[in-house]
Chains A and B, each alone.
Chain A
Amino acid sequence: MKARYTDVVQHPSQEHMVFSYGQGYYVVKTSTGEIIKQVQPSEENKSSGLEHFRTTTFSKDGKYLATTGDDKEIRVWDTTNWEQQSARPVLKRINAMQFTKDGSQVVEADKFGDVYVFPTEVSETTAAEKQEAMKKNKPIVGHVSMLTDMTLSDDEKYIITADRDEHVRVSRFPNGYNIESYCMGHTDVITNIQLLPWAPNVLATVGGDCTFRLWDFMVGKELHSLQYKSHVEKYVPEGVDANSMDPIVMKMELSTKDKIAVLSFAKAPILLVLKWDESTSSFEFNSIVETSAPVLSFGFDIEGNIWTALDDETRVAVYLRKDGSFEPTDGARTNNINTAETPE
């Protein structure tokens, strides 16, 4: 059995997508499905049994890719040749990270509840020096709860952090000791937050309470809440989560091309598509895309098609953007990525 792809992330401007499978990742040219590169940490860098590539993110200009996983290392890769530039340790596993706009820093939110800012360029060379540098770096923001997602505001004056205890906090950046506001309203864990690319003063949040909410985040005011439970509940198996019977969002992606929001859910073989209505400045239900197996991750390619990483033998399936809906395609484009070896 081949290891599944668990994380899909697209280059901000080129037709490259990164598919991670725990021990490594593949870079795919999405127009053709050709594999550009296979990347795995070298033998001495590897710790067996751990997933190195759980969370991945590109810098805004696409020049760098940062990856992290259960090995508690942050690796930065040069995307021109996919060579590892640096690796440094972190204290706790990172759940969300983001480069600053100029690419000079990486902002990291960990499972303990703290946010750290590190320079992208690692000047320390020995493991001991790196440990020292890590210990000296103090968090800029802290929650008494696991952090699930994080984003900087468009002007990078604020940092928004979401946690397991329903809190969305807006703090000044980098002076995170000064909390600006809270977006209060969700009644369950928040799993994903993202600014609307076409209205960056609006924050979209989702999680375990079956609502898709929009906020004027600077003042913590809820602008809209959309209940979507009735559209998805029949697809979610019972007892999916010990704490809740409700569907829980795994990933949210926004497409500027179509002004849509797409959500995937834990253990559910669907994507929920919501469409932005300019006249009401809110989202409404658009459609459900049924997949052959639960969606582990997904992303939009440069043309606005959806690439999904599924939890079955198919592994990757593409849904083409066509007249406002998404249609499954044959396996031609995904043949390479699906036949590729993914050693455990």
Chain B
Amino acid sequence: MSTPDSATSETQVKLPQKRYYRQRAHANPFSDHQLDYPTMPSEMDWSKHYPTYYPTKDAKCDKKVEFADIGCGYGGLLIALAPLFPEKLMIGMEIRLKVEEYVYERIKALRIQKPGSYQNVSIMRMNAMKFLPNFFEKGQLTKTFFLFPDPHFKARKHKARIISTTLLAEYAYIMKVGGILYTITDVRDLHEWMVEHLDAHPLFERIPDAECEQDPVVEHVRTATEEGKKVARNEGDKFLACYRRIEDPLESA
């Protein structure tokens, strides 16, 4: 896969059009998707994503990915955050092929349009429910985002929801103590589900809404994504809940 950075001189740099990249919203996270993933984090070739920081696979670089948008869709949040946190590496994970291709092309075009910018943002096609520990070390991430996740309305599909008790253990593992997990949805039932599960998980503590509003990222969580804009157009509600990764209360005693 050529890096988003390589330019072909004859190509007019246009942003890709979403209508060529539509894919149905639901993908089954339990089926085998023929995904490409490293055996362990140290084996990951980040040069495909951040060539400025990792010119080669084995290049020594102090920077590690710190922000992950799980189910990043069309990449709206990351593209908004990239210029705000130019020193932080961030990645989107998206299971749907066409959507990932769109974001990849978008980042590629942005890197050419604005030289020197958007070198810190990338996307991968990945099943975040299964393979996060293959990419990220313990305590690596300082921000994780779960924006407008698939609600999987039917009771029998609840196990496919991206926030669940068992998955929260994995998210807690890859997050640094003090890191922040952001959730937002327009589906009240899903919001209540996520809050219930996060409240019940001993390694996450709710950040009071007032404190959330102080976070410069929150505004983008609300408005930067496709889904967020669609909800606003339809005058829907947006339910935000942010959590801090904390120490195990059982171990700190």
The stretch from B3-11, B99-107, B128-136, B222-230 touching chain A is B128-136
Given contacts A114-B166, A142-B165, A182-B173, 18 further A-B contacts (CB under 8 A): A144-B29, A144-B167, A165-B130, A166-B39, A172-B250, A175-B250, A177-B168, A177-B172, A177-B202, A178-B169, A178-B251, A179-B169, A179-B173, A182-B40, A182-B133, A184-B40, A184-B41, A184-B134
CB within 8 Å for A179 and B172 given contacts A114-B166, A143-B166, A184-B40? yes
Q: In the assembled complex, which residues on chain B have CB atoms less than 8 Å from the CB atom of A185?
A: 39-40
Q: What mask results when residues 287 to 327 of chain A are scored 1 for a CB within 8 Å of chain B, else 0? A: 00000000000000000000000000000000000000000
**Is B201 in contact with A177, judged by CB distance below 8 angstroms?**
yes
Is A79 an interface position by the 8 A CB rule?
no
Q: In the assembled complex, which residues on chain A have CB atoms less than 8 Å from the CB atom of B170?
A: 179
What is the size, in residues, of chain B's interface with A at 8 Å between Cβ atoms? 26
Q: What mask results when residues 105 to 148 of chain A are scored 1 for a CB within 8 Å of chain B, else 0? A: 00000000110000000000000000000000011011111000
**Is B165 in contact with A177, judged by CB distance below 8 angstroms?**
yes
Q: In the assembled complex, which residues on chain A have CB atoms less than 8 Å from the CB atom of B201?
A: 177
Chain B residues in contact with chain A, CB under 8 A?
29-30, 39-41, 129-131, 133-134, 138, 164-170, 172-173, 201-203, 248, 250-251
Q: In the assembled complex, which residues on chain B have CB atoms less than 8 Å from the CB atom of A187?
A: 39
**Is A172 in contact with B251, judged by CB distance below 8 angstroms?**
yes
* Sample of 20 A–B contacts (CB below 8 Å): A141-B169, A142-B165, A142-B167, A143-B166, A144-B130, A144-B167, A165-B131, A172-B250, A175-B202, A175-B250, A175-B251, A176-B169, A177-B169, A177-B201, A178-B172, A178-B248, A178-B250, A179-B169, A179-B173, A182-B133
Residue of A nearest to B159 (CB): A112
A139 contact from B41, B133, B134, B165, Cβ within 8 A: B165
Q: In the assembled complex, which residues on chain A have CB atoms less than 8 Å from the CB atom of B129?
A: 144
**Is A144 in contact with B166, judged by CB distance below 8 angstroms?**
yes
Min CB–CB distance A213 → chain B (angstroms) = 12
Is A167 an interface position by the 8 A CB rule?
yes
Q: List residues 202-233 of chain A with CB under 8 A from any CB of chain B.
A: none
Min CB–CB distance A271 → chain B (angstroms) = 28
Q: In the assembled complex, which residues on chain B have CB atoms less than 8 Å from the CB atom of A175?
A: 202, 248, 250-251
Chain A residues in contact with chain B, CB under 8 A?
113-114, 138-139, 141-145, 165-167, 169, 171-172, 175-179, 181-182, 184-187
B138 contact from A141, A144, A166, A181, Cβ within 8 A: A181
**Is B40 in contact with A178, judged by CB distance below 8 angstroms?**
no
B169 contact from A138, A142, A166, Cβ within 8 A: A142
Q: How far is the CA of A169 from the CA of B174 in the complex (A)?
A: 13
Residue of B nearest to A145 (CB): B130
CB within 8 Å for A184 and B133 given contacts A172-B248, A177-B202? yes
Closest 3 CB pairs of A and B: A142-B166, A184-B40, A179-B173
Q: In the assembled complex, which residues on chain B have CB atoms less than 8 Å from the CB atom of A186?
A: 39
Min CB–CB distance B87 → chain A (angstroms) = 28
Q: In the assembled complex, which residues on chain A have CB atoms less than 8 Å from the CB atom of B169?
A: 141-142, 171, 176-179
Residue of B nearest to A166 (CB): B39
Q: In the assembled complex, which residues on chain A have CB atoms less than 8 Å from the CB atom of B133?
A: 167, 169, 182, 184
Residue from B129, B166, B168, B250 whose CB has the most chain A CB atoms within 10 Å: B166
Q: In the assembled complex, which residues on chain B have CB atoms less than 8 Å from the CB atom of A114?
A: 166
Q: How far is the CA of A172 from the CA of B29 in the complex (A)?
A: 26
Q: In the assembled complex, which residues on chain B have CB atoms less than 8 Å from the CB atom of A177?
A: 165, 168-169, 172, 201-203
Q: How far is the CA of A92 from the CA of B173 in the complex (A)?
A: 26
Q: In the assembled complex, which residues on chain B have CB atoms less than 8 Å from the CB atom of A181?
A: 138
Q: How far is the CA of A166 from the CA of B133 in the complex (A)?
A: 11
Residue of B nearest to A179 (CB): B173
Q: In the assembled complex, which residues on chain A have CB atoms less than 8 Å from the CB atom of B39?
A: 166, 184-187
Residue of B nearest to A138 (CB): B165
Residue from B29, B131, B173 whose CB has the most chain A CB atoms within 10 Å: B173
Q: In the assembled complex, which residues on chain A have CB atoms less than 8 Å from the CB atom of B134?
A: 184
Residue of A nearest to B249 (CB): A175
Q: How far is the CA of A206 from the CA of B172 in the complex (A)?
A: 28
Min CB–CB distance B153 → chain A (angstroms) = 20
Residue of B nearest to A181 (CB): B138
Q: How far is the CA of A179 from the CA of B248 in the complex (A)?
A: 10
Q: In the assembled complex, which residues on chain B have CB atoms less than 8 Å from the CB atom of A165?
A: 130-131
Q: In the assembled complex, which residues on chain A have CB atoms less than 8 Å from the CB atom of B29?
A: 144
Q: In the assembled complex, which residues on chain A have CB atoms less than 8 Å from the CB atom of B138?
A: 179, 181
Min CB–CB distance B137 → chain A (angstroms) = 9
Min CB–CB distance B146 → chain A (angstroms) = 15
Residue from B129, B130, B131 whose CB has the most chain A CB atoms within 10 Å: B130
Q: How far is the CA of A51 from the CA of B248 in the complex (A)?
A: 41
Q: How far is the CA of A186 from the CA of B173 in the complex (A)?
A: 20
Min CB–CB distance A216 → chain B (angstroms) = 15
**Is B172 in contact with A144, judged by CB distance below 8 angstroms?**
no
Residue of A nearest to B202 (CB): A177
Q: In the assembled complex, which residues on chain B have CB atoms less than 8 Å from the CB atom of A178?
A: 169, 172, 202-203, 248, 250-251
Q: In the assembled complex, which residues on chain A have CB atoms less than 8 Å from the CB atom of B173?
A: 179, 182
Q: How far is the CA of A186 from the CA of B38 in the complex (A)?
A: 11
Min CB–CB distance A22 → chain B (angstroms) = 29
Q: In the assembled complex, which residues on chain B have CB atoms less than 8 Å from the CB atom of A167?
A: 133
Min CB–CB distance B196 → chain A (angstroms) = 13
Q: In the assembled complex, which residues on chain B have CB atoms less than 8 Å from the CB atom of A179?
A: 138, 169-170, 172-173
Q: How far is the CA of A143 from the CA of B127 in the complex (A)?
A: 13
